[in-house]
Amino acid sequence: MKNIPQTDSWRSGLFTEFDIVTAFGESRAALGELFDCDMLMSARRSASAGKPERFELCSTARVSLAIVHALWRHAGLTLRVAEQALSKKQATRRHWPRTTALNARSISRLPPAS
């Protein structure tokens, strides 16, 4: 299997599982649940002749995926709650205080920059 060069992935928006786990610095096993989340399930594109399964992620989806990953792995939220925090359906004015508090809590846990 040939991996897509990172620059081509970035331009095309098509990422393999390898591209995603490498970006997060984790193993496929550690991110197993992430690949079953609604965000990635809807972005999944079937493998074609000689090419691996890919995920089509626009720039907004990439940022959302990074935030979901941070809320899940570093802030300790369940994956479902992390997804809901960014969901357009859930992002009404009444949810913004909660989302802001969750984001602030996750940022406060980051180690200070050196």
Res. 3: pLDDT tops 50: no
**pLDDT digit string, tens, across residues 38-75:** 878 888 888 777 788 888 888 778 888 888 898 888 88
- Rounded CA-CA distance 64/102 in Å is 15
Give the DSSP letter string of 37-97: SHHHHHHEE---TT---EEE--HHHHHHHHHHHHHHHTS---HHHHHHHH-TTT-STTTHH
**pLDDT digit string, tens, across residues 25-45:** 888 888 888 888 887 888 888
91 within domain boundaries: yes
73 within domain boundaries: yes
Task: Return left, alpha or beta for 73; rule: phi > 0 is left, psi -120 to 50 is alpha, else beta.
Answer: alpha
Mean pLDDT across the chain = 75
33 within domain boundaries: yes
How many domains does the structure of the chain reveal?
Answer: 1
- Rounded CA-CA distance 35/26 in Å is 13
Which domain does 36 fall in, by range? 6-108
